[in-house]
Amino acid sequence: MTIQELYGKIGGDYEQALRVLRMDKLLDKHIRKLTTSGVIDRVLEAGKSPDPNELFEAAHAMKGVCANLGLTRMAEAASELADEFRPGTGRRLSDGEVADRIRRIGEMYRTTAEEIRKYEEG
Partner 1 sequence: MIKSGGIRRPQLVLVVDDQEINRDALEVILGEEYGIICAENGQEALEMMREHLDALSIVLLDLRMPVMDGFEVMRRVQADEALRQVPIIVLTAEKTAELKALQMGAADFITKPFDTPEVILARVGRIIELNEGRKLIQAAEFDALTGLYNRNFFTEYVNRIFQFHPELHTDAIVMNIEQFHNVNALHGRAFGDAVLQALGGGVRAFLEETKGIASRYESDRFAICCLHQPDYRALLDRFQSAADAVSPGAHIHLRMGVQPWQEDLEPTLQFDRARAACNLVRGDYQHPLMIYNDEMRARELMNQRLLNGLRSGIGKRQFQVYYQPKYDIQCDPPRLASAEALIRWKHPELGMISPAAFVPLFERNGMISDIDNFVWREAAGQVAEWKRKYGFRLPVSVNVSRADLFDPRLQERLVRLVEENGLDYGELKLEVTESAYTDDAKGLLELIRRLRASRFEVEMDDFGSGYSSLNMLSEMPLDVLKMDMKFVRNIEKSETDYQLVKLILGMAKFLKVKVVAEGVESFAQLSLLKEAGCDLVQGYYFSRPLPAEEFEKLIRQEIGTERKKAQ
Per CB under 8 A, residues contacting partner 1 are 16, 19-23, 26, 29-30, 33, 37, 39, 57, 60-61, 63-65, 67-69, 75, 86
**Closest C-alpha among 91, 83, 59, 73 to residue 12:** 73
Shortest distance, position 12 Cβ to partner 1, whole Å: 13
**Of 76, 82, 80, which is closest to residue 60 (Cα–Cα)?**
82
Measured CA distances, 57 to 1, 3, 39, 53, 63 (Å): 34, 29, 10, 6, 10
Nearer to partner 1 among residue 19 and residue 118 (C-beta): 19
Q: Between 21 and 105, whose beta carbon lies closer to partner 1?
A: 21
Nearer to partner 1, 7 or 100 (CB): 7
